[in-house]
Amino acid sequence: MSDDDQRAESAAAEAGRLIPRPGTESDLPSVRSVVASAYARYLDRMDRPPAPVLNDYRAATASGQVWVLGDPVFGVIVLIGQGNALLVENVAVAPAAQGQGFGRMLMEFAERQALARGLGKLTLYTNEVMTENLELYARLGFREVSRHAEDGYRRVYMEKIISR
């Protein structure tokens, strides 16, 4: 087991005490590492790296859009206000911590953030080849609203209406 995997397992063991916190500049290497490792399984399905892997995250972190889970960080969510919705621009969990409910925890956090901001909808998009994500988001109550190419990626756009 790698050091990163051991750290992620250790962080996962602390799950009962975890809440997302705003990411900081010092978290950026961990954010990039979590995102790269979480999306690695899709590399062979795509002709280029997934967009979240190419993102710098510096500006999003500086503007308070990046939230992290764990110390060391093993979960990341990027939330962007857009009109009456909160866009889940990215959600990623390190592979060693996957399957333990952390992705769901981050998505529930996104819902609470939207409600706290007075927003009634969560939106997101994922790549068409990330079929596992489509199934997961549907189970979480999202519905597909459109599909189209953007920035060279075939994306599926989804939304979830939320209320108190």
Residue range 3-119 in CATH 1.10.3720.10: no
The predicted pLDDT at position 11 comes to: 45
Neighbouring residues of 124: CB distance < 8 A, sequence distance ≥ 6: 87, 88, 89, 91, 137, 142, 157, 158, 159
Long-range contacts formed by 139-146: CB under 8 A, 24+ apart: 140/104, 140/107
Say whether pTM exceeds 0.85.
yes
The predicted pLDDT at position 18 comes to: 84
How does DSSP classify residue 31? H
For the chain, give me the number of helices (H) and strands (E)? Answer: 6, 7
Q: E-strand spans in the chain?
A: 21-22, 66-69, 75-82, 85-93, 121-127, 143-150, 153-161
Spell out the domain ranges in the chain: 3-119
State the Cα–Cα distance between residues 95 and 5, nearest whole angstrom.
Answer: 8
The predicted pLDDT at position 40 comes to: 96
The predicted pLDDT at position 4 comes to: 54
Closest-CA residue to 88 (of 71, 112, 62): 112
pLDDT tens, N- to C-terminus, the chain (164 residues) = 555 555 545 544 444 468 999 999 999 999 999 999 999 999 999 999 999 999 999 999 999 999 999 999 999 999 999 999 999 999 999 999 999 999 999 999 999 999 999 999 999 999 999 999 999 999 999 999 999 999 999 999 999 999 86
Dihedral angle over CA of 130, 63, 18, 71, nearest 10: 90
